[in-house]
Structure 1
């Protein structure tokens, strides 16, 4: 465990927790402006969280420990990923956990916990949302694994920090055919995993189309605040991983205060740029029909497979 890894283990979770709601607020504000509305301001998600945390905890009658534990599991798994992944610093305090398969397993565990909570409510909407979410996850997680695996082939390791360090040493790798194919596949994966358009619409409660919102309809108060915070954190973590896997420049490689501060600022700039680009794209996209979503995700999986083939044959 290096000094840089220890610093990263402290700084990265704090940056993700503090910055993710602001990122969501910025994305909502951009969408509002492009749609001709004033918007609530970029700090509105934090105001909503503060109000929800101040309310009395309430759970629907008949729910069990799964419903109550799911928000904590969702936050905890995302925090662990932000703790070990190379986001602001290239070293990890727990290097074995920074492996591709461990990180994807942690993120999937949070999703499964929320889906089980939706089933635990016993409502039609909860079961419908959980079913749809598992359909999407069954296609998204293999694509995520295969896309990042394509980046790991030239490195000879599935460790995320090793992949980032390799791109830093060889910048031309970021524009290789394998990297470009993997980048497109990962963009589609992130859109689906975080419930953005055209896969899901995070700003609607229309019962026939919602996926993520259907699983959290029964949450209220502090539990809903944890779910909303975890959703924002997952979006921030996914965008940070996308940025650092392909454009890692600016990430801290030493434990000096200026290097770490530069790494945090570079991370913030990259995530904000990606988030705003995603928000702008959503304004011009319509939600896909549910039965068309597997076709989109199957296409992303094909791109990930092509990236793996390119990494072997064009290396």
Structure 2
């Protein structure tokens, strides 16, 4: 661990925390404009968080236990740890063991499982329904996430995310390879499913029978709800950041200098912002899939990830 690595980790964590609600607001604004509405503005998510933190009190449903109470903190902590360790702004990780593929996937899965358990802890019908659907999704999403990035790690010879990103920076031709293209499509579907976006879930729905993520957080209020909403926005930023830097890593700081770090910050903001705009624009043209169709979509993404792994070993120059 070096001073530059710690500084880079702090900068990218602050960037994810501060920029996540702005990204959510930007995506909502893009959707509103494309649908012919004025929209609430890019800063509206920050206004909502401030209102929840200052003017509302946390309410705990009767009969819930420590699982419900500690889940917002756990969800926030796991996301912060990934934002601190993963290569978003710089490839110099302050916590190399946490920047490993398996550690990152485990931390992201831990937050999702904790939220599902909290929904079950409420004992409500909608909470249980949302938790059941979320577990169905995560059971197909997490293997796909592992296999898709594993296809890239086979070429880099390491499961360390920083090493994978660095190998792509050193060999830009890999970006257009079949391995990268297959893995990118699989990971994009994973990001959509894991963050509750269309066509897997509708983040703007008000129909309880169609909710997945929102059904699990119906019982939260005040600061607890603020933590859950902020962590959800941060997870979206994290997934888009991984998608951007694993396949288009240009701009990320590979040297220990202040100009490189500033370029890395700007590149991360631009790439994640563009991905968010593309995702929001695409959602306008998609309808939510029926629930029994979602496993088919996720199974298809797993097949693409598996083909990427096979291609990484079969194609010439696939494994270093």
Per the normalisation by structure 1, the TM-score is 0.99
For structure 2, which runs of at least 5 residues remain unmatched after alignment? none
8 Å contact 1:3–1:255 — kept in the other structure?
A: no
Once the two structures are TM-superposed, the CA of residue 2 in structure 1 deviates from its matched residue by 2.5
Alignment map for 1:239-278 (pairs within 5 Å): 239-278=240-279
**In the aligned structure 2, how far is the partner of 1:32 from the partner of 1:97?**
38
**In the aligned structure 1, how far is the partner of 2:221 from the partner of 2:148?**
36
Alignment map for 1:157-306 (pairs within 5 Å): 157-306=158-307
**In the aligned structure 1, how far is the partner of 2:28 from the partner of 2:208?**
21
Quote the residue 1:34 is aligned against: 34
**In the aligned structure 2, how far is the partner of 1:111 from the partner of 1:195?**
11
**In the aligned structure 1, how far is the partner of 2:257 from the partner of 2:174?**
27
Quote the residue 1:140 is aligned against: 141
Quote the residue 2:45 is aligned against: 45
Structure 1 residue runs of 4 or more that deviate by more than 2 Å after TM superposition: none
Once the two structures are TM-superposed, the CA of residue 62 in structure 1 deviates from its matched residue by 1.0
**In the aligned structure 2, how far is the partner of 1:128 from the partner of 1:8?**
41
Alignment map for 1:40-189 (pairs within 5 Å): 40-54=40-54, 55-189=56-190
The secondary structure found in structure 1 opposite 2:268 is: helix
Once the two structures are TM-superposed, the CA of residue 203 in structure 1 deviates from its matched residue by 0.3
The secondary structure found in structure 1 opposite 2:155 is: coil
**In the aligned structure 1, how far is the partner of 2:139 from the partner of 2:206?**
24
The secondary structure found in structure 2 opposite 1:153 is: helix
**In the aligned structure 2, how far is the partner of 1:261 from the partner of 1:271?**
16
**In the aligned structure 2, how far is the partner of 1:27 from the partner of 1:127?**
29
The secondary structure found in structure 2 opposite 1:88 is: coil
The secondary structure found in structure 2 opposite 1:204 is: coil
Greater Cα shift, 256-265 or 165-174:
256-265
**In the aligned structure 1, how far is the partner of 2:192 from the partner of 2:40?**
23
Per the normalisation by structure 2, the TM-score is 0.98
Greater Cα shift, 257-266 or 287-296:
257-266
**In the aligned structure 2, how far is the partner of 1:230 from the partner of 1:263?**
23
**In the aligned structure 1, how far is the partner of 2:126 from the partner of 2:151?**
37
Greater Cα shift, 224-233 or 257-266:
257-266
Quote the residue 2:17 is aligned against: 17
Once the two structures are TM-superposed, the CA of residue 207 in structure 1 deviates from its matched residue by 1.5
Summarize deviations over 1:137-166 as a string: whole Å, max 9, x none.
Answer: 000000000000000001111000000000
**In the aligned structure 2, how far is the partner of 1:295 from the partner of 1:301?**
10
Greater Cα shift, 247-256 or 99-108:
247-256
8 Å contact 1:4–1:254 — kept in the other structure?
A: no
**In the aligned structure 2, how far is the partner of 1:101 from the partner of 1:30?**
34
8 Å contact 2:49–2:230 — kept in the other structure?
A: yes
Once the two structures are TM-superposed, the CA of residue 298 in structure 1 deviates from its matched residue by 0.2
Once the two structures are TM-superposed, the CA of residue 96 in structure 1 deviates from its matched residue by 1.5
